[in-house]
Chain A
């Protein structure tokens, strides 16, 4: 029997794990200061994992404008009345227990040379490495007339979970039976490809129970359903026969909030009782302010081995703000995987080591087609050294065969585990 490296790995791993607070083999040489901008799926996960994998050696400051994390995934169930805001909200105390310094505030500028982040209140934070995970901002000009209508709360996007989720739920509750809920979807890429279609299902589920004469009208700027097409179309037909109507190729050219009307390039105008308009999207504002946007004036190019910006050294960009690799969705789950790539690279680099070999990452995304029934799409992505990007692994991934109740339970298990992995 020769000395087996596998045995070695197993034994020394276990021995070290028993002795270390975070289960990190042999302690960590990592030190220095990391600032994380954004406490969503990406930023929270990165903050926790950098603390954990550096064995507490790296100081982490998280800057987040909201007092608590509110999840976009599962928020469509708040619109249907099946979940409450409390169900999708998690505080930042868990991160504080990991030694993360949580600062509630708005990052407004980054100096990549001096390595400082400026907050709206004038405070400045110094970093050795910066993580930028701001999610998306809306391109207001993509829908003419939308900005003033949104300002007075008459038209909602509800594409960032929070007060707008509550407000749209109220609009749906206040709508008369026999009314029309119109949902306008922007051209891809946007955050959460199946999200709008799930929303159409869940609003229809609510109407079916409480306002059966009402209608859900999907006005999609794209030429077809962008995700889980067959499964959503089947749900609209089987569960909500006649209640949900899908119209492709509907690019908005005008909005009249007083008349509650949307105008389109090639189709008739649509009048509705509740207008839910999801505008086009781009990387969150701080990404632009920091000069991190490198593609189409919208997205941030990154080195996929480390998530480091191609525009500025020592700045790592995560999640929806990145120029997505092929077949990589802008999803909360995918963002947590970005965070782990970045955390692994940052801890290694701040230990004076090379960035680790690329890990394999995965995405699992559940959509509720009713309060009780769910479908999923899953994918696995591996780094391609030749093309320097992630690609889906051939033969992996797929969809649910059909909507089912078992996966509704798994969807909630996913939510509770991913929230805990990011925040607790």
Chain B
């Protein structure tokens, strides 16, 4: 895909914009809040779902389902209500890129 090639090339050349860098840092920082329960970079040691490598769309759907009440939860229905759509997307972006 053309745009992917462009993106990759720009990234590898280290020409990423300051705005991008800020955004990536903020995504990483935002996502780190989840790590207390879901493990560093989403690598859970057990008991709570791992988030590392979860496809972006899947995570967005799950968190929004928690928020709407469509997916029952013990805690996540309460925590998910603290995040905007944009913030959920940032966090999902970060975890989708983790191994």
Q: Which residues of A contact B (CB under 8 A)?
A: 1, 3-18, 23, 25-26, 48-49, 52-53, 333, 336-337, 340-341, 344, 348, 356-357, 359-362, 364, 376, 378-382, 392-393, 395-398, 400, 404, 406-407, 409-410, 412-414, 416-418, 420-421, 424
A333-B32 Cα distance, complex, nearest whole Å: 12
Most buried by B among A7, A356, A395, A412: A356
Known contacts A12-B16, A336-B36, A407-B74: does B48 contact A417 (CB below 8 Å)? yes
In the complex where A360-B30, A416-B45, A416-B47 touch, is A12 in contact with B20 (Cβ < 8 A)? Answer: yes
Assess A417 versus B22: contact at CB under 8 Å? Given A11-B7, A26-B16. no
Question: What 3 pairs between A and B have smallest CB-CB spacing?
Answer: A413-B47, A380-B82, A12-B11
**Closest approach, in angstroms, between the C-beta of A24 and any C-beta of chain B?**
8
Q: How many A-B residue pairs have CB under 8 A?
A: 174
Contact indicator B30/A409 (Cβ below 8 Å): no
Q: Smallest Cβ distance from B3 to chain A, in angstroms?
A: 6
Chain B's interface: helix, strand, loop or mixed, by majority? helix
Closest residue to B44 on the A side, CB-wise? A417
**Contact among B44, B47, B48, B83 for A360, CB-based, below 8 A:** B83
Q: Are B25 and A344 in contact (CB under 8 A)?
A: yes
Mind listing 20 A-B residue pairs with CB under 8 Å? A3-B6, A8-B7, A8-B20, A12-B11, A13-B27, A25-B21, A26-B21, A340-B33, A344-B29, A361-B33, A364-B75, A378-B79, A380-B79, A396-B78, A396-B80, A396-B82, A397-B81, A413-B46, A414-B37, A417-B45
B63 to chain A, nearest CB (A): 12
Q: Which residues of B contact A9 (CB under 8 A)?
A: 20, 23-24, 27, 93
Min distance, Cβ A358 to any Cβ of chain B, angstroms: 9
**Distance, CA A11 to CA B38, complexed state (A):** 23
Check A362–B4 contact: CB distance below 8 A: no
Taking residues whose C-beta sits less than 8 angstroms from the other chain, chain B's interface range is 35 or more
Smallest CB separation, B17 vs chain A (Å)? 9
Q: Tell me how far the C-beta of A2 lies from the nearest C-beta in chain B, rounded to whole angstroms.
A: 9
| Cα–Cα distance between A256 and B81 once the two chains are bound (Å) | 50
Q: A7-B3, A8-B10, A357-B26 are in contact. Are A413 and B81 (CB under 8 A)?
A: no
Chain A residues positioned under 8 Å from B24 (CB to CB): 9, 12-13, 25
Taken together as a complex, chains A and B put the C-alpha atoms of A382 and B13 apart, in Å, by: 35
Mostly helix, strand, loop or mixed at chain A's interface? helix
A418 to B46, CA, bound (A): 11
Q: What is the bound-complex CA distance between A16 and B24, given in angstroms? A: 11
Residue in B32, B41, B47, B99 whose Cβ sees the most chain A Cβ within 10 Å? B32
Partner of A12, one of B10, B35, B46, B99: B10
Measured between beta carbons, the chain B residues less than 8 angstroms from A412 are: 47
* Closest residue on chain B to residue A361 by CB atoms: B33
Residue of B with least CB distance to A420: B45
Which residue of chain A lies nearest to B34 when distances are taken between CB atoms in the complex? A362
On chain B, the residues within 8 Å of A15 by CB distance are 8, 11-12
- Identify the closest chain B residue to A25 (Cβ): B24
Is B97 engaged at the interface, CB distance under 8 Å to the other chain?
yes
Contact B29 A359 (CB under 8 A): yes
Task: Please name 18 further chain A to chain B contacts, defined as beta carbons within 8 Å, in addition to the given A23-B97, A336-B36, A361-B33, sorted by A numbering.
Answer: A6-B93, A9-B93, A11-B11, A13-B97, A14-B97, A26-B11, A49-B32, A333-B36, A360-B33, A362-B36, A392-B82, A396-B81, A400-B74, A417-B45, A417-B48, A418-B36, A420-B39, A421-B39
Residues in A whose Cβ lies below 8 Å from that of B93:
6, 9-10, 13
A411 and B62 alpha carbons, distance in the complex (Å): 21
